[in-house]
Amino acid sequence: MNREILVVGAGPTGLSLAITLRRYGVPVRLVERKPEPAGVSKALAVWSASMEVLEGMGVMDALLAEGARLHSLRIGSGPRELAAMAIGDGIDSPYPFPLLLSQARTERILAAKLAELGVEIERGVELTQLSQDQEGVTAELKHPNGRVEIQRTPYLAGCDGARSTVRQALGIEFQGYTEPQTYLLGDVLIDGGGLDHNSIYLWWHNGGTVALFPFEEATWRVFAVRKPGAGDEATTIAELQEHIDRHGPAGLRLHDASWLSAFRINERLAERYRAGRCFLVGDAAHIHSPAGGQGMNTGIQDAVNLGWKLAYAANGIGNADLLLDSYEAERRPIARSVVKAAARKLHLAFGGGRLDTILRDVAVTVFGNMSAVQKMLQVELSETEIVYREGPLVALGSPPRKPRRTGVGARARDAALADPPRRLWSLLSEPHHSLLLFEDSRHPIPVDGIMEGTGDRLTGR
């Protein structure tokens, strides 16, 4: 059988999974039904935990060179600014800030890294059918010229978005609901108002809300909610201007839109992430409100979690079923909490009505300027406090009944290693496992033979 693992979908999630597999020496085939890379920018923010894993892929220098660090979140009501929240305070990470970068640029950087690793995206190739048995997966692939190819693969990963063909072929339910409101989006240039291009603006007035997100050199993404009963037709720059004039900061003029859209928001979670030798990753497994900018980040972290486990299974290392079962057990609860949190943020920010506005004004004025509240929100969004509490891998560590931040399944704290000098996090980002031995003179650890038989899959410190 062909040893190539088939990854379906070449967005940030599929690219991250393919890179992770290649870093572990596993052959990969990446297919994408769209003939060209996305021209519009969907996700904008790369958060701390994602940048940590992207550092391991060797792409952070390029991302930092093209992106901009977010400085603050500014919240206002009518003519008043209620709070200015500094971004990055209290995040335990070498990247204690969100990076603002269009998804199109992120994908281009990831695709270049994958090409360095010997894999090119096969564009215009569409998965049309799949079946599987105990030995592998059979995929039917349709090429741009109409040719149909049958490929056998040991494992298949569906990174093909919210309308995932893989999820539908596996018969996995996408549980959740659709928000009733129609949301408006525009990527535009803005004159006037003295906006800081390294800040997000969330503003409400006259019973409505607008949000402005900066990206690239001078572009702003504007979000608003259409009036009930106004339909789902595409928005216009004039409609967005009306929302800004009525609900946003004063003195702003929108022009030169590069993308205009009207859409509904879905809050959904796949019933399962694994079906035999097939897996769902990223938006194929979970979608939610863009509030907080967590979607792409959660998908990238899904990909890295699954990637090393698939690599071990493909190379016959360890207990394949235990490793692969741990992916859903660890990542699905994280997505569930992200979906719920994003819905809460959406309803808090865009809830209509005078009472909603009054409550928001009071809450932001009282709590929004408290450093403890600001830190809690930023740490949540950074995804640096994630703890895996369930699954067969966590169970092997005999976790305590009440998990702690430093317990089994938690993200390791950084530390300085003396010989050779380096950071612990940089060591943990490499494509192997690391054994850290903590000893003192009273309790020496017998190290002779402790790594015997592990080859280059384990290093000791």
Nearest to 283 by CA among 165, 163, 383, 172: 163
Distance of CA 34 to the CA centre of its chain: 21
Inter-CA distances, 68 with 97, 152, 194, 292, Å: 10, 43, 18, 17
Could you tell me which residue, 443 or 289, shows the higher pLDDT?
289
Could you tell me which residue, 41 or 106, shows the higher pLDDT?
106
Cα dihedral 21→100→93→59 (10° resolution): 30
The domains of the chain, with CATH numbers, are 5-70+98-177+267-350+371-382 (3.50.50.60), 183-264 (3.30.9.10)
pLDDT digits (tens, 9 = 90+) for 287-304: 998 877 788 999 999 999
Across 137-141, 357-361, 363-367, the highest mean pLDDT is recorded for: 137-141
**pLDDT above 50 (res 363):** no
Pairing type for strands 174-178 and 266-270 reads antiparallel
**pLDDT above 60 (res 357):** no
**pLDDT above 90 (res 170):** yes
Confidence of residue 43 (pLDDT cuts 50, 70, 90): confident
**Average pLDDT for residues 252-277, to the nearest whole number?**
95
pLDDT of residue 435: 75
pLDDT digits (tens, 9 = 90+) for 198-234: 999 999 888 888 999 998 889 999 999 998 777 778 8
Nearest to 283 by CA among 309, 303, 304, 311: 303
pLDDT of residue 205: 85
- 178 near 264, Cβ under 8 Å? yes
H helical segments located in 171-319? 237-247, 295-314
Output the six-digit token pair for 143. Answer: 């090429």
Average pLDDT for the chain: 86
**What's the rounded Cα separation, in Å, for the pair 212 and 202?**
7
Output the six-digit token pair for 340. Answer: 């719920």
Instruction: State pTM to two decimals.
Output: 0.91
pLDDT digits (tens, 9 = 90+) for 404-433: 666 788 887 777 777 778 777 777 777 777
pLDDT of residue 361: 44
Nearest to 290 by CA among 365, 219, 222: 222
- 345 near 59, Cβ under 8 Å? no
H helical segments located in 261-413? 295-314, 320-350, 354-367, 371-382, 392-396
